[in-house]
Amino acid sequence: MSTTPANWHPDPVGRHQLRYWDGANWTEHVSDNGVAGVDPMQPKGLDRVESALTFGKDVDPNKIAQQVAGTGYRGAGVAGAAFQGGGGLFSEPILVVNQKAKLIELNNQYTVFNSQGQQIGSVNEVGQSKAKKAMRLLSNLDQYMTHKLLISDANGAPVLQLTRPAKVFKSTVIVSDPNGAEIGKIVQDNVFGKIHFTLEAGGQTLGSINAENWRAWNFRIDDHTGQEVARITKTFEGIAKAVFTTADNYVVQMHTQLPQPFLSLVVAAACSVDTALKQDDK
């Protein structure tokens, strides 16, 4: 059962500013600029076209296992979990974050699995207008746009919000709770060389994300002492999807159980790293 109480939250399908979560499910009740309305969650317009051009709708546990334990470019080479998982986004030692493979991408969407291939969360871009979606379809100006992502648990309940304001060179990702209260920030520190992010909360540095190569495919996550506590590894799904779709897939490995709010920043990092850096190349 969800622990997120009933309230208005950013619309997970992105057509409205807010949609009402009743404590168990998303409803058809929506709101824009304070004006209430009704709109079922089925895809419409450009969203329907995008949905029709989305691949990999079925989950293959064997694919997840290959991503986790495989070696080389297809897997993260994780031999085993560092601790017993609890079945949720904030309690699993290994997260597999797979971006939905699309021929066209108007909404950034990801599915989060545990190492056994069970879905434990999802990520959806929210707050985009029809004009913004059309601009994304016709141009390559993602970095000059603000991106907002809603992270939900296995029940669909919102657990985190990510906001990456429009940027020119360096990114800042603001991590907030479901009601919009800021938890912390992921701040890009450099433009050239191996990309480095600082994880901040309450004016304090909690840790960092460090790219291990100039192409920013794999990342080491350190705590404030410089000790590695987690790792993000990009996995490669095949030449066809790499060439013809926008999909990026990552395995997140926790080496130890992390305290809050550091844990929320690390969970958010797998999605925000992709949004902060890789989306500009699409």
Residue 222 belongs to a domain with what CATH number?
3.20.90
Give the mean pLDDT of 45-52: 53
Whether residue 205 is contained in a domain is answered as yes
Q: Inform me whether the pLDDT recorded for 91 exceeds 50.
A: yes
pLDDT digits (tens, 9 = 90+) for 56-85: 555 677 889 999 999 877 789 998 899 999
Sign of the alpha-carbon dihedral angle for 91, 93, 96, 97: positive
- Confidence at residue 280, expressed as pLDDT on a 0 to 100 scale: 47
Question: What is the 3-class SS of 106-174, one letter each residue?
Answer: CCCEEEEECCCCCEEEEEEEECCCHHHHHHHHHCCCHHHCCEEEEEEECCCCEEEEEEECCCCCCCEEE
Comparing 47-51, 160-164, 184-188, the range with the smallest average pLDDT is 47-51
**93 is in which domain, residue-wise?**
59-281
| β-bridge pairing 228-235 and 7-10 | unpaired
pLDDT digits (tens, 9 = 90+) for 120-159: 999 988 877 666 666 666 666 666 778 889 999 988 899 9
Whether residue 241 is contained in a domain is answered as yes
Whether residue 124 is contained in a domain is answered as yes
Whether residue 6 is contained in a domain is answered as no
Question: Which residue's structure tokens are 């545990």?
Answer: 114
Give the mean pLDDT of 159-184: 90
Total domain count, the chain: 1
Q: Inform me whether the pLDDT recorded for 37 exceeds 80.
A: yes
